[in-house]
Amino acid sequence: MKVSGEVVGEIGRGYVVLLGVGNEDTKETAEKMADKVKKLRLFPDSEDKTNLSIEDIDGEVLVVSQFTLYADARKGTRPSFVNAGAPALAKELYEYFLELCESRFRKTAHGCFGEHMEVSLVNDGPFTICLEL
């Protein structure tokens, strides 16, 4: 991940978490999300079954703040973001989520809140999922 052409975060095998914070989200929501990310079994075992968690593979996490996940384009042609958390709340919960990830995973990298970021990834496998709690 780059900001202004400079690499600010990168990981090896693991997850890219695009984190959207909504108006109703709390620290409890962030805690539940971090626990869910840790426990999801999305990596293949020796029989190629998706039985392993990120912890099982000693994986890494890259967290990107992504308010645009709350885009509502049902009306008109310009998305509304009224359901996205206010910037102060979003930043607080983003930073809290980072702390939770740092305590749960071998490596946690991240972008810069509110900055224009260039994110590159290799999606190695069938999973791109949206988690809502």
Positions marked catalytic: 66-68
CA dihedral 95, 67, 58, 8 (to 10 degrees): -70
Closest CA to 8 of 60, 62, 59, 58: 62
Tokens 């079954």: give the residue. 49
Contact partners, residue 29, CB within 8 Å, separation at least 6: 93, 133
- Residue 104 token pair: 């749960």
- CA–CA dist 116, 119 (Å, integer): 10
User: How many Å is the Cα radius of gyration of the chain?
Assistant: 15
